[in-house]
Amino acid sequence: MNHLFSRLVYIYIGTSNYSADYEFYKNVLGAELLWEFEKFGAKVAGFDLCGLPYLLIADHVQAPSKRLIYEVQSLNAAMAQLQSKGWEVDGAEFEIPDGTCVNFKDRSGNEYAILEMTRPFILEKEWSRNKRKK
């Protein structure tokens, strides 16, 4: 068993038609909307189809594409362990609401990321709090 990756947290999905995909996930598949935000010129929504991993649709990500985002306990330790085996990052570390993340690709070009969740599920909590206020 691999103890480096804790769990698959998100599947990040590119969309070329945000409204149609939003309706598809919500109304056709029956996924629960966890949150939706439009910031910095990007629309992103999180859906719960059947528990983790959550599905994230994003209009700033080219479609079709899927990036699997795995949680790790320590980003630096995971990166060091993987780099010792010839693994390479794809770009610089970046922040997402849940914590620090870094992208990588397998040998065929499939996209993945590892995430240290220092602010676990903050968007889901904020969305829920805002819904209760309304």
Predicted confidence (pLDDT) per residue in 41-100, tens digit? 899 999 999 999 999 999 999 999 999 999 999 999 999 999 999 999 999 999 888 999
Residue 132 has pLDDT above 70, yes or no: no
Residue 134 has pLDDT above 70, yes or no: no
Residue 91 has phi, psi (to 5 degrees) of: 100, 180
How many other CB atoms are there within 10 angstroms of residue 2's CB atom?
A: 6
Contacts of 44 (CB under 8 A, 6+ apart): 36, 37, 38, 56, 57, 58, 59, 60
For the chain, give the mean pLDDT.
93
**Complete DSSP assignment for 21-63:** HHHIIIIIS-PEEEEEEEETTEEEEEEESSSSSEEEEETTSPS
Mean of pLDDT values over 101-128: 92
Give the confidence band of 40 by pLDDT, cuts at 50, 70, 90: confident
Predicted local distance difference test score (pLDDT) of residue 129: 73
Predicted local distance difference test score (pLDDT) of residue 96: 86
- Asked if CATH classification 3.50.50.60 holds for the domain at 7-133, the reply, yes or no, is no
Percent of the chain with pLDDT over 70: 97
Predicted local distance difference test score (pLDDT) of residue 7: 96
Percent of the chain with pLDDT over 90: 80
